């Protein structure tokens, strides 16, 4: 399927640019991509690495990384994307789980590894994720699965050959791979890839590249909302938010400053990225992850024994998914019972569907705070904190309580950063806001004002590290 997309695009689009270095002049045309596929095919065949063999990719340059990853898929191999900045211990863990037979740093060079997996008989992407538990999970996204989701992204976001996307998200994560590289390929469009997001010169670069849509995460949207340019590039149709819930205050601030629609989405690696999305044109509901897009979604209660029960509209339950884009088994690791016999995957996310079928997420099951039997969803408190003046970022986690089991505590990054008297004043203001708007059991028992949050590669707050800090595990 992906090889067919590449060959068709080379015939029909020829010298049209598929990928570009966002801040340089280098480009890759569709003809160039086809040639890269053929070169890799010859090289891998000659090295005795047949179709289906797992090849690890670790390139520092984003254009080289992107070209290599897509070309390996086109050549029928399984790409194993690696973080080029990963420390040796993390790299060794991924290589042990994925078992590639070769590793490349791009530019058609490859190092053969002495051991590794046998052929899988089809192209794909093998990702290793630790999730929130730290237990390694191997996820093989097969070609048909990748193609289904990529085509769904292009259809739902109305990406056409004349569109020009921008992506600075890490290419070793599923979002950039499927929403960025493969959705663009399926549409025969253009994508500018960036090594990392930088606010300096951002909008000038967007205007220079004539970008029509931006693939982003909440952290990027929040930063951009604080510093709008004098002139907004006129070609941008929408900015896409993924990887973590977008605070409502950040969405409203961005749209007010730029007049560019924010399209909130929801996805996960096991579903090859996108599961739901708000429409680009149509009703976009603030705080919602949108409507199902090529994937079945249900919200259910899961008793300790007996069948699951569908939740009524607006009733919070566990989010489960099924469809052509969703894995039916883990390649390695994974908790037993996560995937049912009839294909429903339990995401561990909690949320509800409204009467129109829009999904609203309230948190993850392992993030829920149990205070004396009362369930507290951190996002409700975080939204209140983020709506207060002087707050740039906020996270609420559960801390041990000798009497009630757990109590909520809040971590806050001030808009201007720093500690001292300003931090004390901010804590006083936040305590007053919580007392005015939240019942007593939901009010944080402590506030930690810090310069920055611990973040993962896609900008998602590393809640486990915050919980470890307040429980003493991280001291």
- Residues 298, 153 share a domain: yes
Q: What is the pLDDT of residues 315-371, one digit of tens each?
A: 999 999 999 999 999 998 877 778 999 999 999 999 999 999 999 999 888 888 988
Q: Domain ends where: 301, 325, 360? A: 360
- Residues 410, 330 share a domain: no
Q: What is the pLDDT of residues 261-303, one digit of tens each?
A: 999 999 999 999 999 999 999 999 989 999 999 999 999 998 7
pLDDT of 394 above 70: yes
Paired strand residues for 405: 371, 401
Pairwise CA distance, residues 120 & 126, whole Å: 11
- Residues 447, 330 share a domain: no
- Residues 42, 25 share a domain: yes
Give the structural domain span for 421: 368-471
pLDDT of 79 above 50: yes
- Residues 186, 234 share a domain: yes
Task: Specify the pTM.
Answer: 0.89
Q: 114 in the Ramachandran plot: left (φ > 0), alpha (ψ -120 to 50) or beta?
A: alpha
Q: Domain ends where: 339, 360, 381? A: 360
Token readout for 84 is 């080029």
- Residues 450, 340 share a domain: no
Q: What is the pLDDT of residues 171-181, one digit of tens each?
A: 999 999 999 99
**pLDDT band, residue 201 (cuts 50/70/90):** very high
* Rg of the chain (C-alpha set): 23
**pLDDT band, residue 460 (cuts 50/70/90):** confident
8: which residues sit within 8 A by CB, 6+ positions away? Answer: none
Q: What is the pLDDT of residues 99-150, one digit of tens each?
A: 999 999 988 899 998 656 666 688 999 999 864 445 578 999 999 999 999 9
- Residues 160, 204 share a domain: yes
Pairwise CA distance, residues 215 & 22, whole Å: 13
CATH code at 285?
Answer: 3.40.50.12780
- Residues 387, 355 share a domain: no
CATH code at 440?
Answer: 3.30.300.30
Q: How many domains would you assign to the chain?
A: 2
Please, are residues 415 and 449 in contact by the beta-carbon 8 Å criterion? no
Three-state secondary structure readout of 357-409: CCEEEEEEHHHCEEECCEEECHHHHHHHHHCCCCEEEEEEEEEEECCCEEEEE
- Residues 267, 231 share a domain: yes
Q: Domain ends where: 338, 360, 382? A: 360
Q: 116 in the Ramachandran plot: left (φ > 0), alpha (ψ -120 to 50) or beta?
A: left
**pLDDT band, residue 475 (cuts 50/70/90):** very low
Q: 83 in the Ramachandran plot: left (φ > 0), alpha (ψ -120 to 50) or beta?
A: beta
- Residues 250, 149 share a domain: yes
Token readout for 468 is 């470890």
- Residues 155, 16 share a domain: yes
- Residues 385, 355 share a domain: no
């Amino acid at each position: 399927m992906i090889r067919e997309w590449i060959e068709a695009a080379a015939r029909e689009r020829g010298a049209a640019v598929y990928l570009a270095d966002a801040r340089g002049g280098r480009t890759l045309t569709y003809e160039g991509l086809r040639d890269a596929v053929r070169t890799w095919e010859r090289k891998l065949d000659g090295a005795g690495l047949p179709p289906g063999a797992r090849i690890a990719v670790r390139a520092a340059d984003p254009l080289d990384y992107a070209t290599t990853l897509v070309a390996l898929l086109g050549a029928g191999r399984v790409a194993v994307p690696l973080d080029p900045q990963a420390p040796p211990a993390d790299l060794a863990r991924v290589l042990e789980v994925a078992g590639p037979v070769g590793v490349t740093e791009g530019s058609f060079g490859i190092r053969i590894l002495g051991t590794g997996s046998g052929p899988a008989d089809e192209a794909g992407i093998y990702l290793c994720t630790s999730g929130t538990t730290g237990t390694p999970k191997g996820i093989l996204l097969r070609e048909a699965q990748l193609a289904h989701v990529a085509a769904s992204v292009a259809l739902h976001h109305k990406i056409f050959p004349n569109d020009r996307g921008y992506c600075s998200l890490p290419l070793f994560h599923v979002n950039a791979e499927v929403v960025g590289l493969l959705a663009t390929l399926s549409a025969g469009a253009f994508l500018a890839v960036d090594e990392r997001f930088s606010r300096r010169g951002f909008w000038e670069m967007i205007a220079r590249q004539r970008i029509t849509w931006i693939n982003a995460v909440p952290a990027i949207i929040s930063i951009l909302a604080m510093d709008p340019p004098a002139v907004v590039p006129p070609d941008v149709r929408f900015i896409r938010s993924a990887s973590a819930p977008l605070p409502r205050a950040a969405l409203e601030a961005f749209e007010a400053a730029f007049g560019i629609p924010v399209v909130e989405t929801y996805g996960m690696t096991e579903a090859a990225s996108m599961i739901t999305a708000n429409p680009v044109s149509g009703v976009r509901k603030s705080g919602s992850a949108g409507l199902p897009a090529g994937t079945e979604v249900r919200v259910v209660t899961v008793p300790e024994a007996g069948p699951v029960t569908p939740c009524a509209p607006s009733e919070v339950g566990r989010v489960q998914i099924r469809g052509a884009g969703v894995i039916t088994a883990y390649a390695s690791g994974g908790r037993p019972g996560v995937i049912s016999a009839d294909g429903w995957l339990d995401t561990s996310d909690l949320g509800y569907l409204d009467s129109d079928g829009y999904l609203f997420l309230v948190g993850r099951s392992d993030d829920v705070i149990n205070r004396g039997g009362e369930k507290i969803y951190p996002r409700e408190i975080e939204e209140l904190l983020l709506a207060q003046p002087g707050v740039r970022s906020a996270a609420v986690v559960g801390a041990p309580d000798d009497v009630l089991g757990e109590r909520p505590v809040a971590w806050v990054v001030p808009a201007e950063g720093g500690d001292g008297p300003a931090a004390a004043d901010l804590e006083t203001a936040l305590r007053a806001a919580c007392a005015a708007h939240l019942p007593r059991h939901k009010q944080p028992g402590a506030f930690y004002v810090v310069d920055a949050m611990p973040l993962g590669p896609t900008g998602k707050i590393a809640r486990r590290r915050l919980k470890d800090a307040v429980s003493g595990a991280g001291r």
